[in-house]
């Protein structure tokens, strides 16, 4: 079976704290997978390890069958795995358009041109297209610092998407956004993403949001994968209800 | 064999001087995250204050020698308190929170201003208040003639180093300081008056600087530019030792002191820049300095 | 390769400036030549500032450029101006390619302090070199241009025209570089280095190229300075000299390629008068001005000229 992303017996220890315990995950091309879990469950650690920002203590990570342990975020991005961040990682003093153009130029070549301009017609058209898909074209010429949180999250995702990745990891795409806006934001994101034919894995706290889009859920708790399967079976799982979703109602709004 | 002892003795003397100069700098950085370029000027102000006062005292032959020493310390303390308070309350407290490198540039501007301010107060001619130095005489150590004043400096730096360490590690105030060093925001959230801590620490750092200058004054010719010369040396020591670490400053000073003494005796063409060579070497191997902390970015 | 508005304007200004040299008094031509030489060094500082790095040691490459020119003339009896400058740039680039491997591992304060350290190492070496004149340095021989030797009295004006030409061409190239993908990547690194990595780029590689290029540009300034002043000394590598370049960079701001040139000229003019009128307060004036820039004009003087300061205030008021 050819999986696009596979982790085998993945462990991560920070001293005495275990952020990942025997994580075994296999994701097939084209899947849309939701990752749930309370704060500190290990969701962001998982994404950080898979994208090369953290080195696992032991275990194996395979992307398209190739081991990516020890590879840098740069190499993994170039291999076709892109991500967005819990706190949008943008270039604050530059315009929204420039943010996307830089992302595009970055994806095009590992060695950016020293003389040829960043802003050329082709790139601008591409950036405008994707801004349009996310319905944020009106913010095109604003500095990122002047842009509201929801739009920032979209820019973050757009920057990951503009490089045509095979797989997209979204770390809490709706975090920091008001409850009313969450669904609309996620709708926009998933619409755009589905048009681009990427495998998606996203972390999310809101169960309603998760249920709308995924064909599969991974439930994390204390570094372990509690349950892995179709949404209903995972959400009906007693341990998941006890440790993840049940507790979530009491601790709503906290961040991982 | 003689030259090995010479290297050790010279090295220890130079190291203790470096530590005295660097201590205030590293304390201020550790707590406030400000690499204070004006520290060089504080050193110079201390030297000028001591040299002018002591020079006047001895030239007018008004009293016993020990009063001269008292005047040295007193003038350093007074100058340090005055200048430290003035700068922290009058300028720096409006600049907190800015980028670290910007703070360096701000203190660089301060250095420039103070350099000329000193010229206005003390003129451009050198002061040479040698009496406290000469009055202590010399001893013979391992077959070499050593000035007792230099030996006293070694003692003073050990005392100050130990006192600082004791204060930071064993007193309540020290704990508060270490809390602020470790995480300013959390300390503030727990009720620490960070503003007051900053003023206290900055004045302490300033006084350490003026003290170092005052203690050095009898051994040198106090003239415009001495502050500019030492600040780069102090930087090197602080960076080698790990910014904010007293132990680091001590070890760094020792490392540099011995290296320089070795250079002076065996390879004099390297003397002037051996300190920067050591710094480049240490940073190449351990980028955060000997006792520095690495802070990884969380995303 | 067609030139855009800014580039054409700069070339135009260059032509005007060069022709004005014919009627300007000798001292002014000399002052402007020195200022332009310094502005080249500052371009190297600005290139690094755009990437978020403040160097307190650009004097290293300034000094190498100058000493390469001086030593080639003195010991190798080379007098051809282009050759001399090329040797200076090549030497600086060679050293930068080695040092850059270390320097690009650091950011912020460590980068600033390490750059300071290396320039002071050169200073120390030169001061302790009696063969190179120690603290006195030595004189630079007269230059020639492809065999043509300027008549006495003509040399300063000829050098003035040459440095304007070189500065203008360099300004066009730097303008291109600033707007290129690499230039934008430098700014991105300044803004968020982690994100740049996640875009499939190597921040170290980009910063390395930038560092080496900046070294070459600054060495050009050092070479011209040696030729204009006719003298070189270790002071060129002293950290206070590097501080001056940082000051000029902040004075002009990093947003336009002509800013360092204007700032350097302003600096030279003010300094000449200040040193004459208040020689012992010149540093204080510098310090106060620096504080004023940081507090009131964080984007440098250029922001005043381009109305950015006004617009920034307007945005702040609205928000």
- Predicted confidence (pLDDT) at residue B262 exceeds the cutoff of 50: yes
As a whole number, the mean pLDDT across chain B is: 88
Inter-chain CB proximity A163 and C199 less than 8 Å: yes
- pLDDT-derived band of residue B299, with 50, 70 and 90 as boundaries? low
- pLDDT-derived band of residue B295, with 50, 70 and 90 as boundaries? low
| Residues making up chain B, counted from first to last | 299
Q: Name which residue leads in pLDDT, C109 or B47.
A: B47
> Which has the minimum average pLDDT: A18-22, C139-143, C217-221?
C139-143
Q: What is the pLDDT of residues B200-255, one digit of tens each?
A: 999 999 999 999 999 999 888 899 989 988 888 898 899 899 888 889 999 999 99
Q: How far is CA A173 from the centre of its chain?
A: 7
User: Which of C182, C179, C54, C155 has the alpha carbon at shortest distance from C114?
Assistant: C54
Inter-chain CB proximity A94 and C179 less than 8 Å: no
Spatial strand order of the sheet with A3-14 comes to A17-28, A3-14, A58-63, A66-67
- Predicted confidence (pLDDT) at residue C315 exceeds the cutoff of 60: no
Judge whether A89 is closer than 8 Å to chain B, CB to CB.
Answer: yes
- Predicted confidence (pLDDT) at residue C179 exceeds the cutoff of 90: yes
Which residue on chain B is closest to C193 by alpha carbon? B297
pLDDT score at A212: 86
The distance of C242 to chain B (nearest Cα, Å) reads: 12
- Predicted confidence (pLDDT) at residue C68 exceeds the cutoff of 90: yes
The mean pLDDT value for C18-40 works out to 91
pLDDT score at A250: 40
Q: Which residues in chain C are contacts of B228 at CB distance < 8 A?
A: 240
Which residue on chain B is closest to C112 by alpha carbon? B101
Of the partner residues C54, C240, C246, the one whose CB lies closest to the CB of residue B228: C240
The mean pLDDT value for A110-132 works out to 94
- Predicted confidence (pLDDT) at residue C37 exceeds the cutoff of 60: yes
What are the two backbone dihedrals, phi and then psi, of residue A197, each rounded to the nearest 5 degrees? Answer: 55, 60
Judge whether B299 is closer than 8 Å to chain A, CB to CB.
Answer: yes
Q: Which residues in chain C are contacts of A74 at CB distance < 8 A?
A: 197-198, 200-202
User: Which of B153, B137, B145 has the alpha carbon at shortest distance from B12?
Assistant: B153
Which residue on chain B is closest to C57 by alpha carbon? B232
Which residue on chain B is closest to A85 by alpha carbon? B299
Inter-chain CB proximity A106 and C200 less than 8 Å: yes
> Which has the minimum average pLDDT: B124-133, C256-265, C301-310?
C301-310
Count H helices, E strands: chain C?
Answer: 14, 2
Per-state percent for chain A, helix, strand, coil, to nearest 5: 40, 25, 35
- pLDDT-derived band of residue B135, with 50, 70 and 90 as boundaries? confident
Judge whether C121 is closer than 8 Å to chain B, CB to CB.
Answer: yes
- Predicted confidence (pLDDT) at residue C82 exceeds the cutoff of 80: yes
With contact defined as 3+ CB pairs under 8 Å, the chains touching B are A, C
- Predicted confidence (pLDDT) at residue C180 exceeds the cutoff of 90: yes
- pLDDT-derived band of residue B137, with 50, 70 and 90 as boundaries? confident
Q: Which residues in chain A are contacts of B297 at CB distance < 8 A?
A: none
- Max Cα distance, chain A (Å): 60
Inter-chain CB proximity C181 and A105 less than 8 Å: yes
The distance of C9 to chain B (nearest Cα, Å) reads: 33
The residue whose two tokens read 């995250």 is B33
Which residue on chain C is closest to A143 by alpha carbon? C315
pLDDT score at C170: 95
Q: Which residues in chain A are contacts of C192 at CB distance < 8 A?
A: 89-92
pLDDT score at A77: 96
Inter-chain CB proximity B120 and C123 less than 8 Å: no
Q: Which residues in chain B are contacts of C250 at CB distance < 8 A?
A: 105
> Which has the minimum average pLDDT: A29-33, A102-106, C76-80, C192-196?
C76-80
Of the partner residues A93, A106, A118, the one whose CB lies closest to the CB of residue C180: A118
Distance from C-alpha of A119 to C-alpha of A140, rounded to nearest angstrom: 13
Q: Which fold has domain B2-285?
A: ABC transporter involved in vitamin B12 uptake, BtuC (1.10.3470)
Going from the N-terminus, what domains does chain A have, and what CATH number goes with each? 1-80+166-256 (3.40.50.300), 89-164 (no CATH)
Judge whether C1 is closer than 8 Å to chain A, CB to CB.
Answer: no
Q: Which residues in chain A are contacts of B299 at CB distance < 8 A?
A: 48, 53, 85-87, 89
Judge whether C191 is closer than 8 Å to chain A, CB to CB.
Answer: yes
Distance from C-alpha of B80 to C-alpha of B86, rounded to nearest angstrom: 10
Q: What is the pLDDT of residues B61-119, one digit of tens each?
A: 777 878 888 888 999 999 999 999 999 999 988 888 888 888 999 999 999 999 999 99
pLDDT score at B259: 92
In a 13 Å sphere around the CA of B29, the CA atoms on its Cβ side amount to 30
For chain B, the domains span: 2-285
Distance from C-alpha of B204 to C-alpha of B168, rounded to nearest angstrom: 13
The distance of A43 to chain B (nearest Cα, Å) reads: 12
With contact defined as 3+ CB pairs under 8 Å, the chains touching A are B, C
Other C-beta atoms lying within 10 Å of the C-beta of residue B115: 24
- Predicted confidence (pLDDT) at residue A254 exceeds the cutoff of 60: no
The backbone region for A89, taken as left when phi is positive above 0, alpha when psi lies in -120 to 50, beta otherwise, is beta
Inter-chain CB proximity C192 and A106 less than 8 Å: no
Helix (H) or strand (E) holding B135: helix B131-135
Other C-beta atoms lying within 10 Å of the C-beta of residue A187: 13
Distance from C-alpha of C102 to C-alpha of B280, rounded to nearest angstrom: 9
For chain C, the domains span: 5-238
Inter-chain CB proximity A92 and C192 less than 8 Å: yes
pLDDT score at B26: 92
Number of Cβ pairs < 8 A linking chain A and chain B: 6
Read off the tokens for B278: 């050591």
Inter-chain CB proximity C246 and B228 less than 8 Å: no
Helix (H) or strand (E) holding A104: helix A96-108
Distance from C-alpha of A131 to C-alpha of A135, rounded to nearest angstrom: 6
Judge whether C199 is closer than 8 Å to chain B, CB to CB.
Answer: no
The distance of C281 to chain B (nearest Cα, Å) reads: 5
CB distance B6 to B265 below 8 Å: yes
Judge whether C187 is closer than 8 Å to chain A, CB to CB.
Answer: yes
- Predicted confidence (pLDDT) at residue A227 exceeds the cutoff of 80: yes
Judge whether B296 is closer than 8 Å to chain A, CB to CB.
Answer: no
pLDDT score at C42: 98
Inter-chain CB proximity B109 and C117 less than 8 Å: no
Sign of CA dihedral A234, A237, A241, A242: negative
| CB environment C98-130: b (16+ within 10 A), e (fewer) | ebbeebbebbebbbbbbbbbbbbbbbbbbbbee
Distance from C-alpha of A114 to C-alpha of C122, rounded to nearest angstrom: 30
Burial bucket for residue B102 (CB in 10 Å: 0-12, 13-18, 19+): middle
Q: Which residues in chain C are contacts of B111 at CB distance < 8 A?
A: 287
Inter-chain CB proximity A89 and C202 less than 8 Å: no
Inter-chain CB proximity C283 and B124 less than 8 Å: no
Judge whether C205 is closer than 8 Å to chain A, CB to CB.
Answer: yes
SS3 state of residue B192: coil
- pLDDT-derived band of residue C93, with 50, 70 and 90 as boundaries? very high
| CB environment B29-60: b (16+ within 10 A), e (fewer) | bbbbbbbbbbbbbbbbbbbbbbbbbbbebbee
- Predicted confidence (pLDDT) at residue A225 exceeds the cutoff of 80: yes
Which residue on chain C is closest to B35 by alpha carbon? C109
- Predicted confidence (pLDDT) at residue C7 exceeds the cutoff of 60: yes
Q: Which residues in chain C are contacts of B114 at CB distance < 8 A?
A: 287
pTM of the complete model: 0.90
The percent of residues in chain B predicted with pLDDT above 90, rounded, is 41
């Amino acid at each position: 079976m050819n999986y696009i992303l596979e982790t085998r017996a993945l462990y991560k220890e920070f001293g005495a704290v275990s952020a990942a315990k025997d994580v075994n995950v296999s994701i097939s091309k084209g899947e849309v997978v939701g990752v749930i879990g309370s704060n500190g469950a290990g969701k962001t650690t998982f994404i950080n390890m898979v994208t090369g920002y953290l080195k696992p203590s032991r275990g194996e990570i395979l992307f398209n069958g190739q081991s990516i342990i020890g590879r840098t975020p740069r190499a993994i991005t170039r291999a076709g795995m892109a991500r967005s961040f819990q706190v949008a990682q943008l270039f604050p003093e530059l315009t929204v358009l420039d943010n996307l153009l830089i992302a595009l130029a970055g994806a095009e070549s590992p060695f950016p041109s020293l003389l040829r301009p960043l802003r050329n017609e082709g790139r601008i058209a591409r950036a405008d297209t994707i801004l349009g898909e996310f319905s944020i074209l009106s913010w095109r010429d604003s500095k990122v610092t002047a842009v509201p949180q929801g739009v920032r999250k979209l820019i973050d995702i757009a920057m990951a998407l503009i490089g045509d990745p095979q797989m997209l990891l979204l770390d809490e795409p709706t975090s920091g956004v008001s409850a009313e806006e969450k669904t609309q934001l996620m709708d926009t994101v998933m619409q755009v993403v589905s048009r681009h034919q990427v495998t998606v894995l996203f972390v999310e706290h809101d169960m309603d949001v998760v249920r709308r889009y995924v064909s599969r859920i991974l439930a994390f708790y204390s570094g372990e994968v509690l349950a892995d399967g179709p949404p209903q079976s995972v959400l009906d799982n007693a341990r998941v209800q006890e440790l993840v979703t049940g507790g979530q109602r009491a601790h709503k709004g906290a961040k991982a | 064999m003689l030259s090995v002892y010479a290297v050790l003795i010279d090295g220890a003397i130079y190291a203790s001087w470096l530590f005295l100069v660097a201590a205030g700098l590293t304390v201020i950085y550790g707590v406030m995250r400000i690499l204070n370029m004006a520290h060089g000027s504080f050193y110079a102000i201390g030297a000028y204050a001591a040299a002018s006062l002591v020079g006047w005292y001895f030239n007018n032959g008004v009293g016993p020698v020990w009063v001269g020493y008292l005047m040295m310390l007193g003038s350093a303390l007074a100058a340090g308190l005055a200048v430290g308070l003035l700068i922290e309350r009058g300028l720096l407290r409006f600049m907190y929170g800015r980028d670290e490198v910007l703070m360096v540039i701000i203190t660089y501007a301060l250095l420039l201003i103070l350099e000329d301010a000193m010229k206005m107060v003390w003129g451009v001619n050198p002061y040479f208040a040698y009496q406290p130095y000469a009055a202590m005489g010399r001893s013979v150590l391992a077959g070499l003639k050593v000035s007792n004043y230099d030996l006293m400096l070694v003692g003073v730096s050990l005392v100050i180093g130990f006192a600082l360490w004791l204060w930071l590690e064993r007193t309540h105030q020290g704990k508060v300081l270490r809390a602020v060093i470790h995480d300013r925001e959390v300390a503030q959230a727990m009720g620490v008056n960070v503003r007051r801590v900053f003023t206290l620490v900055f004045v302490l750092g300033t006084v350490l600087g003026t003290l170092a200058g005052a203690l050095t004054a009898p051994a040198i010719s106090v003239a415009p530019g001495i502050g500019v010369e030492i600040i780069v040396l102090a930087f090197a020591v602080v960076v080698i030792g790990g910014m904010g670490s007293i132990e680091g400053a001590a070890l760094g000073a020792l490392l540099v002191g011995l290296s320089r003494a070795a250079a002076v005796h065996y390879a004099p063409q390297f003397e002037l820049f051996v300190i920067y060579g050591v710094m480049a070497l240490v940073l190449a191997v351990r980028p955060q300095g000997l006792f520095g902390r690495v802070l990884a970015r969380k995303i | 390769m067609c030139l855009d508005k800014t580039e054409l304007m700069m070339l135009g200004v260059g032509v005007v400036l060069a022709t004005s040299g014919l009627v300007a008094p000798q001292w002014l031509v000399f002052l402007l030549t020195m200022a332009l030489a310094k502005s080249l060094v500052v371009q190297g500082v600005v290139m690094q500032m755009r990437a978020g790095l403040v160097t307190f040691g650009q004097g290293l490459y300034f000094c190498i450029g100058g000493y390469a020119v001086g030593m080639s003339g003195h010991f190798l009896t080379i007098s051809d101006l282009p050759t001399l400058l090329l040797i200076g740039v090549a030497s600086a680039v060679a050293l930068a390619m080695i040092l850059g491997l270390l320097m690009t591992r650091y950011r912020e304060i460590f980068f600033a302090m390490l750059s300071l350290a290396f320039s002071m190492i050169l200073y120390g070496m030169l001061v302790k070199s009696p063969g190179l004149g120690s603290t006195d340095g030595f004189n630079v021989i007269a230059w020639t241009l492809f065999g043509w030797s300027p008549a006495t009295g003509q040399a300063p004006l000829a050098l003035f025209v040459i440095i304007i030409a070189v500065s203008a061409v360099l300004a066009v190239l730097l303008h291109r570089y600033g707007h290129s993908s690499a230039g934008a990547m430098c700014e991105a690194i300044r803004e968020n280095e982690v994100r740049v990595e996640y875009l499939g780029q190597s921040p170290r590689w980009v910063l390395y190229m930038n560092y080496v290029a900046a070294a070459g540009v600054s060495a050009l300034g050092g070479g011209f300075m040696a030729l204009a002043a006719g003298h070189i000394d270790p002071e060129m590598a002293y950290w206070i000299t590097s501080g001056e370049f940082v000051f000029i960079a902040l004075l002009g701001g990093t947003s336009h390629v002509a800013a360092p040139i204007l700032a350097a000229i302003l600096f030279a003019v003010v300094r000449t008068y200040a040193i004459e009128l208040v020689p012992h307060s010149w540093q204080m004036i510098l310090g106060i001005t620096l504080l004023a820039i940081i507090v009131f004009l964080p984007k440098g003087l250029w922001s005043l000229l381009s109305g950015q300061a006004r617009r920034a205030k307007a945005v702040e008021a609205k928000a």
